Amino acid sequence: MARDMMSAFELYQPDTVEGAVELLARFGEEGWALAGGNDSFDWFKDRIKRPKYVVDLGGIAALKGIRETQDGGVEIGALTTLTEVERSPVIQNRYKVLADAARRVASPQIRNSGTIGGNVCQDARCWYYRYGVNCYRAGGNTCYADTPEGQNREHCLWGADRCVAVSPSDTAPALVALDATMVIVGPGGQREVKAEQFFIGPNIDIERMTVLEDGDVLTAIRLPAEWSGARFYFEKVADRNTWDFPLVNIAAAMKVSGAGGAETVDQIRIVAGAVQCVPRRLTVVEEVVRGQPKTAETATLAGQSAVRGATPLNFNHFKIPLLQNLVTRAIRDA
């Protein structure tokens, strides 16, 4: 199997979003939108995906940068690098959970080229799928991970539907916790989708991870003023501290009233990554915690409620206590 050179493609470098959308719409299934390339080039070098036309979005200035919006929120261009997100003073001061998540992605060099748009649009990391087998997600009729001997320690606890792959992104749970809005431009014009609805599971479309269709470009991510400066928590657990994808990660945003030892959680959004095909919003935890004193007891209860209904596969039972502990810590230490 040739696993070194990418197959040849025609490369286009438009400098406007309109140009990119027009090209991608024209190329349809034979086209490929390229951001930082860290995910794309793996596919190309393994010759598993062989697009005829690649549209490099890196030259579109309008897709870059972090701007404060009139409604008090922040808009991040989809092609803004993860390093820029991590180091942006406005993100650090107002949406620290996202800066923390961006800092934990892969390695410094990957964060220097990898973009926040690419990070949320990256494909599943299931190693059977990545190896190029004809699994459900690749259009076939088998799942190799969910078999008696399938190696599935990195796979899902919820939402299995033929495919058991998980959301691999570190920034996605932070964006759902912040109630972000994704701005998408396609052949039919611009539309906005909440981060929570942006990611889709295999029950909706087994061959896609997001609502993006051929010809669509994610242009920006908007963070609402509502969660600016809230109390945040992010933690990622992976086998290695660099490069690795999360075994489980947790992102929480909460508003707390009171002071000292008598704090109450008024509002909370808490989201776990790598336990389901989409970032899993833990609504049960939110209900358990909302209006409660921010104490170790509440945190313990929150952790217990987080894992209710989890359906482990053969080799990923460890994710249940892991998620439970991460939720407990998020509530206790945020």
Partner 1 sequence: MADNPNGRNYPEPRFDTFVSKATSRRQFIKGVIFSGAAVTGGGYLLSLGGCAREGAPAGGVERLLTLNVNGQMRPVDVLPHETLAMTLRYKLGLTGTKLGCDRGECGACTVLVDGVAHYSCSTLTHSVRGREITTIEGLEGPNGELHKVQQAMIDELGPQCGFCTPGQIMSAVALLNENPTPTREEARHALSGNLCRCGAYDHYLNAVMRAANGERVSQA
Compute the distance between CA of residue 271 and CA of residue 180 in angstroms, rounded to an integer. Answer: 13
Choices 100-108, 172-180, 207-215, 302-310; region in contact with partner 1 by CB under 8 A = 100-108
Site string for partner 1, 208-247 (x = CB under 8 A): ---------------------------------xxx----
Site for partner 1 contains 61 (CB under 8 A) = no
- Interface pick for partner 1 out of 16, 18, 52, 225 (rule CB under 8 A): 52
Site for partner 1 contains 12 (CB under 8 A) = yes
Q: Which residues lie closer than 8 Å to 170 by C-beta, 6 or more apart?
A: 101, 102, 104, 105, 119, 236, 246, 249, 273
Output DSSP code: residue 295.
S
Site for partner 1 contains 49 (CB under 8 A) = no
Query: Cβ distance 232 to 334 under 8 Å?
Result: yes
Compute the distance between CA of residue 234 and CA of residue 247 in angstroms, rounded to an integer. Answer: 14
- Interface pick for partner 1 out of 38, 169, 249, 324 (rule CB under 8 A): 38
Site for partner 1 contains 22 (CB under 8 A) = no
- Interface pick for partner 1 out of 1, 8, 149, 189 (rule CB under 8 A): 8
The 3 state secondary structure assigned to 159-220 is CCECECCCCCCCHHHHHHHCCCEEEEEECCEEEEEEHHHHECCCCCCCCCCECCCCCCEEEE
- Interface pick for partner 1 out of 19, 22, 25, 42 (rule CB under 8 A): 42
Site for partner 1 contains 1 (CB under 8 A) = no
β-strand 248-257 against 231-237: which pairing, if any?
antiparallel
Per CB under 8 A, residues contacting partner 1 are: 2, 4-13, 34, 37-38, 41-42, 44-45, 52-54, 56, 58-59, 83, 106-110, 112-113, 241-243
